[in-house]
Amino acid sequence: MAEIYYNGTIVTMRTEGETIPAVAVENGIIADVGEEKELRRKYPYAEPFDLNGEAMFPAFIDAHSHFTGVANSLLQVNLSDCLSFSDIKEKIQKARCDGVITEGWMIANSYDHTSLEEKTHPNIDFLDSICPDMPLVIQHASGHTGLFNSKALELLGVTENTVPPSGGKICKTDGRLNGYMEENAFVEYLKKVPMPKPEALMQAYRKAQNIYASFGVTSIQEGMMTDELIPLYKKLTEENRLFLDVTGYAGVQSFDKYLKNFENITGKFYDNFRLGGYKIFLDGSPQAKTAWMRKPYEGSSDYFGYPTMSDEQVMSAVEKACKTGFQILAHCNGDRAADQFIDCIAACQKKGMNVERIRPVMVHAQFLPTDRMEKVKQLGIIPSFFSAHAYYWGDVHLQNLGEERAKNLSPAHTAELCGVPFTIHRDSPVLDENVLDSIHIAVNRETKSGAVLGEGERISVYQALKAHTVNAAYQYFDEKVRGTLETGKKADFVILSENPLTVNKKEINKINVRYTVKDGNIVYSQNLN
């Protein structure tokens, strides 16, 4: 049955300010656009969808997140609202009493030491006081660091003599393990922690999709696929558990295993899933001081953060992407990490490889040097900015990096001036998938304390919307099927209580998502959820 959407502000996103009176949908595709009366005449049996004066846009596209991470977090203890060590202890102990336990482990996430009264990470003695008899792991909000208690370290076989994997740290105090790990070390040992039972995860995946849809998102990313996720994605696809589109990016070593385990998962979606390419990590996070910087962090003369991959390893991954024709996404937060990725892409181009055709993506690109932006354009690299950092960690960046560097966070306006298409993401579960909040922050660039962080890098509302629609579709090679409201494209829409293009820019984050439509079907309604 066809539908006609009308009586609202319908923004095509093809060009700035362009609106259309009505949209006709048939079989999940935009069948036509034009005057309401004309569409009613052409589709006499179409169901009317009265927008009641509200605003309709192409559905938002998640440029980078971790779908399984969002699902997993729903089965763990969330510490994001904790403001002290005592809050952490109280919340974990309550969760234990409530039975929030995963295969004999207590798993907590999203603590942020910069928001705690103590302004530091907990240590192993504190974790042991919470769970002396049960393994406990707590993950930092950045996702790049975390802590294990003594029982967990014992089960994982970690001792003072354990050599950490390259690009990671197992930290000690006075020669004794303090429970804290960074980057590759934390990630590798976290993978050894038991996962929830498959059916519990299947239910969490559904809830996670509902969360994405509640923010107007219909196309999402699995930002790092490991071997452990293969059986879960087999179950998700074989049992038709996905109702949103998911594009996955696998580690270089895992990529070929996905090709062997799934048929026809590259390029097009099958059972709402496809494999997009490769994912690599070049450094850590600036708020955890593990991002790799050109100059030392404030208060140090020789600490720059550090890389997680050698130049040879990065070159090998980029060359493989170029030779196979698959896209590569590289996590780069610090300016030095950005340099490394740019230089490796340039070296491949110099060897005669067509790097532009794979549309390499620099994920986060938080301190992408503005002096490299023209090179980014020439190589066809797409920066995907984590713009919400300006509010959530902007004050921390000012402290860690100083004003001159901090104000260049997420240089989206510079990218725009240079003609570089960019996207914006939330890196869920680091932050929830609130796209309107990201648009609000990219436009205003205010920190939690109210300081303006880099006024010159503010962008217009239209550019911020493009980053979540038009440009995000381009990032995924989907520009012919989604991202704008045009005949023949997918009927994926978000209907908002107000038009972000016309409201006061200080009020954008107060706009509500009324409906999310995927393939012509309502997958979220504010009235029903």
Transcribe 297-352 into DSSP letters: PTT-SS-----SS-HHHHHHHHHHHHHHT-EEEEEE-SHHHHHHHHHHHHHHHHTT
Output the pLDDT for position 268: 80
Condensed to tens digits (0 to 9), the pLDDT of residues 27-55 reads 999 999 999 999 999 999 999 999 999 99
Output the pLDDT for position 341: 98
Output the pLDDT for position 143: 86
Output the pLDDT for position 301: 94
Give the H/E segment covering residue 20: strand 19-26
Give the H/E segment covering residue 504: none
Condensed to tens digits (0 to 9), the pLDDT of residues 45-95 reads 999 999 999 999 999 999 999 999 999 999 999 999 999 999 999 999 999
CA–CA separation, 337 and 341 (whole Å): 6
Is the pTM value of this prediction over 0.75? Answer: yes
Determine contact, residues 401/445, Cβ cutoff 8 Å: no
Determine contact, residues 377/418, Cβ cutoff 8 Å: yes
Output the pLDDT for position 264: 74
Contacts of 211 (CB under 8 A, 6+ apart): 70, 432, 433
Task: Point out the residues of the chain with pLDDT beneath 70.
Answer: 529
CA distances to 68, 100, 106, 148, 191 from 103, in Å: 18, 10, 9, 16, 14
Residue 153 tokens read as 């370290």
SS3 248: strand
Determine contact, residues 517/492, Cβ cutoff 8 Å: yes
CA–CA separation, 454 and 414 (whole Å): 11
Output the pLDDT for position 529: 67
Determine contact, residues 477/428, Cβ cutoff 8 Å: no
Residue 7 tokens read as 């009586």
For the CA atoms of the chain, what is the radius of gyration? 23
Exposure class string for 453-480: b at 16+ Cβ within 10 A, else e: bbeebbbebbbbbbbbbbbbbbbbbbee
Output the pLDDT for position 281: 96
Contacts of 357 (CB under 8 A, 6+ apart): 325, 380
